[in-house]
Structure 1
Amino acid sequence: SIGLGVALSNPGKKIHIFDGDGNILMNLGSLVTIGSLKPKNFIHIIFDNKAHESTGGQPTNSKIIELEKIAKVAKFKTYKISKKQQIKKIFSKIKEETGPICILVKIEKSNVRSIRVDITPPNIKTRFMKSLK
């Protein structure tokens, strides 16, 4: 949702949103909203490790639900990366395309347990707002 707002308020810039499968599965409605508004500069990169690692590594349903197909139904142009060799080719291709674009990147689950963010929510907001200027 924040990424959509940034894209809509900066139509001359390509906006890259980085997300995980866990977050997308918990917020599927955002894909429909983005798809209906059709921001031409919106590139959504989803890292799919079949887990919601930032909250403890719980398994997600992305092993049986094909996220790129959900994005396609929501009117995204979709790409799936399952090998490192595909990254450069796909990113070169999307330079000339308009969005919304969804790139699903299949990755392995990390063996490292995620640590909690040590920045307070108000400081996160302040830092983010400064980065938009």
Structure 2
Amino acid sequence: MIRSDILRDIAPVIRDQLVICNIGLPSQELHMIDDQPTNFYMLGTMGLASSIGLGLALAQEKTVISIDGDGSVLTNFGTLPTIANNVADNFILLIIDNGSYGSTGDQPTYAGRKTSLAAVATACGCETVVECAAEEVKATLEAAIASAKMTVIVAKCESGNIKVPVITKDPVSIRDRFMEAVRS
């Protein structure tokens, strides 16, 4: 399974949650698979989906799921200790770890070599960290939502991309409809 397969599997699970989606192809894939007003598509700022998601979770009570990639988490390594030290039990960080920078040509990341993001999250103090295979993501995510505990999920999958159209929505309209969903 590749990232888009995971997104297709979890789309029904995340539909009723607030979702912050990583820049580039992950946002484009989620937009194509199941565009929802509750999805905030990152169109810039690599590495900040997890930080934005944590801030949103701390600011309100609805469940927030940040969908991030291993490459993005590696570019903002400070996010894991920040998450560990600012617990929000309505926050789930789903790291789709395909061992590559998928949006820029599948160059390998260190997570595809020796670095275990699950071990790093645990070492940073995150209490509930689950590493799973791509086929287990849906059930793992459902369990995390039901637990009402802050959870970091590292979903291991194959590298690869599908052809997707760009998101043609204006960034301001993406923001505005998402903020309306947060308020409702």
TM-score, length-scaled by structure 1: 0.81
How many residue pairs were aligned? 130
Cα distance in 1, alignment partners of residues 125 and 63 from structure 2: 18
**Using the alignment, how far apart are the partners of 1:36 and 1:26 within structure 2?**
19
1:44 maps to which residue?
93
Does the 8 A contact of 1:56 with 1:113 survive in 2?
no
The 3 A distance-change label for structure 1 pair 113 and 62 is farther
Q: Does structure 1 residue 69 correspond to structure 2 residue 119?
A: yes
Pairing partner for 1:10 from 49, 55, 60: 60
Residue of 70, 90, 98 corresponding to 2:149? 98
1:129 aligns with 2:179: yes
Give a deviation string over 1:39-90, Cα, whole Å, max 9, x none.
Answer: 12211111010111123322111021000011111222111112525742x3
Higher mean displacement: 118-127 or 64-73: 118-127
The counterpart of 1:82, out of the listed 106, 129, 133, is: 133
Query: How far did 1:126 drift?
Result: 3.1
Q: Distance in 1 between matches of 2:162 and 2:142?
A: 31
1:28 maps to what in 2?
A: 77
Q: Any unmatched runs of 5+ in structure 1?
A: none
Distance, in Å, in 2 between the alignment partners of 1:33 and 1:50 is 23
Instruction: State the partner residue of 2:104.
Output: 55
**Offset at residue 113 of structure 1 (A):** 5.8
Unaligned runs of 5+ residues in structure 2 are 1-50
SS in 2 for 1:79: strand
Residue 111 (structure 1) shift: 4.6
Q: Which moved more, 1:49-58 or 1:26-35?
A: 49-58
Query: How far did residue 118 of structure 1 move?
Result: 4.0
Letter in 2 for 1:96: S
